[in-house]
Structure 1
Amino acid sequence: MTTAIKTPPKHGERRCYLAGCRLPECRRANYHYMCRYRLDRARNQNRRVDSAPVVEHVRSLVDSGWSRSQIATAATCSERSVISLYHGYYATIRADLAARILAAQPRIDIVKGKSYVDATGTIRRVRALIAIGHPVARIAAAIGVHRTPLGKLITHGSERVTAQLARDVAGLYKRWAGQPGNNVRARNRAVAEGWHGPLAWDAIDDPNCRPDETVTELGFRERAVLRREEIIHFAWHGDTPEQIHARLHGEVSISTIRQIVQDWRTGQKRQRPNRVRPERQQKELAA
């Protein structure tokens, strides 16, 4: 068992008063504590609560792969308190400490990269990016992993993934969720699998959250309008077509970007000829 190292009390803390110090600041700290204690008693508010729900929560976190130190960091308490709760040493616990521990869900940004975290959010993010036109191969290349294990993850699912993978996918999702891709095959796969895009999720990391079935992703024309507005926005800030092409990660051809920038500068939009396929033209003539 890990032995907690207690820090010595400082002047101005009630611990220092209980240790026998009677300096004005220590007496004041004890006075304020007792005032709050009497007020809580008058309001019938217990300062200590049953520890059973907290013990169950700590044990469930440990069973899911979290260490005691990670739980303590997330709950802003000592590791010794977490260990004592895990072993059921306390029948009651301070109400404020109980609230912090019950609300503690260790985040991926405070744990080690090799630690395991819940895979729900990671799987949903990758599937959402596929739903808006980003293929698995491109997603895997962007986060520096091989496409095969990533493909197996989103196809067969998993309960846990490493915190490093979860962080990498979350960072990529933050950058790409508002930038639809142009891979039609990826979109068709998402439709066939029943995967939903970013707009359908309210709390993507919550296993109990369900996607909004009424939300549909932007179509080709809507995406084209947004892309045009985005290109004009970059051009207005002085970016060259080459710089805009780099910003958009090559998703729009350089010739299209140049044409849009030219249309914006001249104020005249190029009229594209209405091309009719030969087979369609023959059908129209035969009719």
Structure 2
Amino acid sequence: MTSKTLPPHGTISRRKHHGCKCWDCCEALRAYSNARYAAMAAGTWQPFVDAEPVRQHILRLQGIGVTPNRIKILTGLPLRTITGFLEASHYPSNVRCRKRNTRREVAEKIMGIPVDADLAFLVDATGTRRRIQALAAIGWPQKQLAQRLGLNHKHVSHIMRRGQILNRTASAVTAAYEELRNGSAEKFGVSKIGANRARARATANRWAPPKYWAKYPDAIDDPHFTPEYGMTKPQRLAEEAVWMVTVAGVPRTEAATRLGLTFGEVDDALARNDMRKAA
């Protein structure tokens, strides 16, 4: 059985809905009531505002990886309040439509969150994965790299298979990459045997080294960019065909004609791409 987390002391919700009679909670309700009565007397009492701008702001935040749970932490609002802007809520004996109006103070708290990717819990893992691969290409085994990052080496392996990772993990890997990318792993204490094994693995998987990414500084974090490091011409054409069909929306027959490939070669490239995604 799990216990419900109560709102903090000094909030109207704790006083009205949970019966707390401490000084801070009573004072919060008293101050709110006084402000409400004064505004009503002055004819300026407008507690509700349109919820649509708030919903659009939440969607923009979600677009950069700021989840409703993260918004809950940043604003101190209940999760059901935040998700109510996005969809109808279904609770026992309490079904609510998506919010059309909301209290001004709720809107101000949510709208006050900047659209900043650094606030996100989760970010795309592409750049982090490529940085780990690039460090492997200059001799960094995942175990030693994990120790330097303060992570379990199994966690580094998990990063290589995930679509999204924690923002703080991505930032830590980026900082380590900037520190280590200009030298070999042996200079930092990695054994020659371990470094050679890491390089061999990187070569077998065609992982691009830091020197390659230095030529494309904006591409390392771009999930739509396909590195061509170590590829033969047929392999490059196959990757180009996959991009044209899956990203640009070009029909496979047209992609084959443009690239000088057979329909079967394009189908094989698409099949291999599906297998990589499923792995």
The TM-score with structure 2 as length reference comes to 0.41
Looking at CA atoms only, which structure, 1 or 2, has the larger radius of gyration?
1
User: What TM-score, normalized to structure 1?
Assistant: 0.40
